[in-house]
Amino acid sequence: MPERLTYAKGIYDEKEMNAVRRSLESGWLSGGVETHSFEREFADWWGVKHALTVNSGSSADMVALQSLNLPRGSEIITNAGAAFPTTVSAMTYLGLEPVFVDIKGLCIDPKEVKKAISSDTKAIMFAHTLGFMPDMNEIMQIANENDLKVVEDCCDCTGSKQDGKMAGTFGNIATVSFYPAHHMTTGEGGMVITDDSKLHREAYSVRGWGRDCVCGDMPSCRDRFANPPFDHRYYFTRLGGNFQITEMQAAFGREQLKRLDGFIELRKRNYKILADELGEPHDPEVSPFAYPLFSKTKIDDMRKLNKAGIDTRTMFGGNIVRHPAFREIGRVVGDLTQSDRMLNDGYFVGVGPHLTEDNMLYIAEQIKCLR
């Protein structure tokens, strides 16, 4: 048996370490040159106008959703299958009502979205699961016809495209995670991305305690004392929190960003090896987080793979509404058959850039032994 083949592993070296040392030596530990540079560079890489660093992908969901300024009680349509709990938690924390619909394949089903719309529906928020995307033209047509906002959770799908268009650029605002398992890492951290300058301003304020000042890297606010008795730097016009990352994380992330294209290509290579060996199709536009598998003997299969030194994970929440924390939350539309299949049968193995071609061939061979 080879060394344990983890599904995820942060890859970094002296470049990232030196960047962290550089930030420490600057004496400025939060919200400085490294953070602003990282945001600009990441926005350029993604092809959007604005990128805003936050301290996790979960915080990114919260900040992005709050930036929409939806009335309390508004309904947000979301996927029940392969859902991550903090996406739904962000809705409930903000006084919004999740509406759970079924999935098609790995992602939210546009036809189920259409069925779920009510007079209270204001937005659709969903994840691009494992790097895969629903039919975004259909999603956006539904959204536009019903005046709905769209929030894309891109934590799994950095670099994925559909018809040449980058994930996260279809809707109004999107979120990214830099947890070590994802396409690049800052240890913990995330990003909110958008082309909408108004939403960016709202998100910026929410990230920074809810203060009105969004001067960013300017040395001081303009007209700080024009509204006495307030100092504009501490004038609060929204509810917010401190969701910032550190300068050290931003410096680390700037170096990771230089590796990102290479990381994505290795993920695609590893996925293709598995797909070819297992006789399954693959989409070259998908930037995969992991390789999905379905089996009626899921738990036994996972145990066998783990015994063979191969890490496995279940498909996040499976069907999130079956978990105790979410049973009494929101509205459910349909019977969620595919989401239950995700819960009962779905799991995944890794395709991360730390895995070699020989590793992938070994993983494929062990999966074949289960069939």
What pLDDT does residue 319 have?
Answer: 97
| Mean pLDDT of the 23-31 span | 94
The number of domains in the chain is 2
d(CA 312, CA 370): 14
Same domain, 237 and 293: no
Q: What is the DSSP string of 277-321?
A: HHT----TT---SEEEEE-TTHHHHHHHHHHTTB-EEE-TTSBGG
The tokens describing 366, both together, are 């062990």
Rounded mean pLDDT of the chain? 95
**DSSP string covering 144-174:** HHTT-EEEEE-TT-TT-EETTEETTSSSSEE
Domain match, 200 and 264 both: no
**Residue 2 belongs to some domain of the structure:** no
Token pair, residue 128, equals 């691009």
**Edge-first strand listing for the sheet containing 312-314:** 290-294, 346-350, 312-314
Which of 41-45, 53-57, 83-87, 275-279 has the least mean pLDDT?
A: 83-87
pLDDT score, position 173: 98
Give the domain CATH number at 307: 3.90.1150.10
Nearest to 181 by CA among 363, 2, 8: 8
218 against 32, higher pLDDT = 32
For the segment 98-148, what is each residue's pLDDT rounded down to a tens digit? 999 999 999 999 999 999 999 999 999 999 999 999 999 999 999 999 999
* CATH number of the domain residue 102 falls in: 3.40.640.10
Residues 250 and 294 in one domain: no
Same domain, 278 and 250: no
Range of the domain at 242: 14-254
Q: Indicate the pairing of strand 97-101 with strand 331-332.
A: parallel
Closest by Cα among 167, 213, 175 to 192 = 175
Lateral strand order in the sheet of 75-79: 50-54, 190-194, 173-177, 149-153, 121-127, 75-79, 97-101, 331-332
pLDDT average, residue stretch 336-347: 98
Write down the pTM of the prediction. 0.95
Whether 150 and 270 share a structural domain: no
Alpha helices in the chain (DSSP H): 14-26, 33-46, 57-67, 85-93, 110-116, 136-145, 197-207, 247-278, 298-307, 337-345, 357-368
pLDDT tens sequence across 191-206: 999 999 999 999 999 9
Whether residues 56 and 189 share a domain: the answer is yes
Distance, in Å, from the CA atom of 19 to the CA atom of 29, rounded to the nearest integer, reads: 13
Q: Identify the pLDDT of residue 221.
A: 64
Strands 161-162 and 107-108: unpaired
Mean pLDDT of 169-178: 98
pLDDT band at 217 (very low <50, low <70, confident <90, very high): very low
Question: Do 273 and 347 fall within a single domain?
Answer: yes
Which of 224, 254, 284 terminates a domain? The answer is 254
| Boundary-marking domain end, from 254, 278, 303 | 254
Examine residue 9 and state whether it is found in any structural domain, yes or no: no
Residue 331 confidence (pLDDT) above 90: yes
Q: For residue 204, what are its two tokens?
A: 């910026």
Determine what percent of the chain is predicted with pLDDT higher than 90.
Answer: 91
| pLDDT at residue 219 greater than cutoff 60 | no
Q: Of 6, 92, 35, 102, which Cα lies nearest the Cα of 318?
A: 102
Residue 319 lies in a domain: yes
Residue 214 lies in a domain: yes
User: Is there a single domain that holds both residue 72 and residue 145?
Assistant: yes
- For residue 4, being part of any structural domain is answered with no
The pLDDT tens digits of the residues spanning 287-314 come to 999 999 999 999 999 999 999 999 999 9
pLDDT tens for each residue of 250-294: 999 999 999 999 999 999 999 999 999 999 999 999 999 999 999
pLDDT band at 216 (very low <50, low <70, confident <90, very high): low
Does residue 98 fall inside a structural domain?
yes
Q: Is 182 annotated as catalytic?
A: yes
Domain boundary among 208, 236, 254: 254
Within a domain: 177: yes
Are 240 and 91 part of one and the same domain? yes
Question: Are the C-beta atoms of residues 236 and 209 closer than 8 Å to each other?
Answer: yes
pLDDT at 1 over 60: no
Give 274: exposed, middle or buried? Use CB within 10 Å, 0-12, 13-18, 19+. buried
Which is nearest to 310 in space by CA: 263, 353, 361, 345? 361
Query: Does the pLDDT value for residue 177 go beyond 50?
Result: yes
User: Which of 36, 50, 128, 182 is the catalytic position?
Assistant: 182
230 and 275 part of one domain: no
- Nearest Cα neighbor of 97 from 74, 113, 119 is 74
Same domain, 154 and 68: yes
In this prediction, residues 3-17 reach a mean pLDDT of 94
CB 338 within 8 A of CB 109: yes
Do 217 and 273 share a domain, yes or no?
no
Q: Judge whether 156 lies within some domain.
A: yes
